[in-house]
Amino acid sequence: MAATWHESKVIRIEDETPTTKRFWLKTEGDETFDFKAGQFVTMDLPIGEKRNQRWRSYSIANAPDGSNVLEFCIVHLGGGLATDYLFDEVKIGSSIKFKGPDGNFVLPDPIENDLVFVCTGTGVAPFRSMIFDVFHQKKPHRGIHLIFGTRTADGILYQREFEELAQKMPGFRYSIALSREGNKQFHHGYVHGIYLKNYDEKRPDITFYLCGWTQMVDEAVANLIVKMGYDRTQVKYELYG
């Protein structure tokens, strides 16, 4: 089946951290763009001749609401053609073509287990979509624990939103790990220390979702399944390179 490509315009850009920007795209045309919280799209960017040079996939960071507006949270570490283009050349009004949505990294339906979301950096994007989908749609749920990791406090994404949500959303918890900065407010170390401590007693009623860089996800999978004894069906993950 041929992919359906969508045309969109950039309607808003904001700095989120010194190395991260938030981009809002609105699809053109009257057709509603439907997606499930946690899915991604693949952008076709004018940065090369071949398909594998031009295509980049990014998770949608906002919850589905029928508005045809999609938010993306993208980090720029330098040296990448795609992020160089997005950060240096894309402006409000720029056109971006993308296909999708794709991906099975989505919420269970119904939500029967406690959900533990473990992420680093912009790997928080699909979880933000999922959490706000549960909140806005008032979906029945149990506990949801978001564990976010980054190097220093200036790299924390969506902090105010999640802290406010923890006050309003029943069962939602928010933990932050800083690997390279001591801060009394947060866990000093990697995300692994938080779930190892909080979920050391194996339970059948938890599902872990992992999203971030390969090294973090690989270590978390090994910890949860080999070290802690959770079943493979209780661990779902998506890699970010």
Can 5-102 and 114-239 be said to share one CATH topology? Answer: no
Query: Tell me: the pLDDT tens digits for 145-201?
Result: 999 999 999 999 999 999 999 999 999 999 999 999 888 899 999 999 999 999 999
Looking at the chain, the whole-number percentage of residues with pLDDT higher than 90 is: 90
**Domain range summary for the chain, segments of one domain joined by +:** 5-102, 114-239
Whether residue 240 has pLDDT greater than 80? no
Give the tokens for residue 103: 């991906």
pLDDT bucket at 88, cuts 50 / 70 / 90: very high
Query: Tell me: the pLDDT tens digits for 110-157?
Result: 999 999 999 999 999 999 999 999 999 999 999 999 999 999 999 999
pLDDT for 2 equals 66
> Residue for token digits 């240096």?
88
Whether residue 219 has pLDDT greater than 70? yes
Which distant-in-sequence residues (6+ apart) come within 8 Å of 42 by Cβ? 55, 56, 57, 98, 99, 100, 102
pTM of the model: 0.96
Class of domain 114-239: alpha beta
Query: Tell me: the pLDDT tens digits for 3-43?
Result: 789 999 999 999 999 999 999 999 998 889 999 999 999 99
* CATH architecture, domain defined by 5-102: Beta Barrel (2.40)
Give Cα separations from 34 to 27, 75, 101, 166, 183 (angstroms).
11, 25, 8, 27, 41
pLDDT for 227 equals 97
- Report the alpha-carbon distance of residue 166 to residue 177 in Å, rounded: 17
Whether residue 1 has pLDDT greater than 70? no
Whether residue 215 has pLDDT greater than 80? yes
pLDDT bucket at 77, cuts 50 / 70 / 90: confident
> Residue for token digits 């041929």?
2
Better-scored residue on pLDDT, 134 or 77: 134
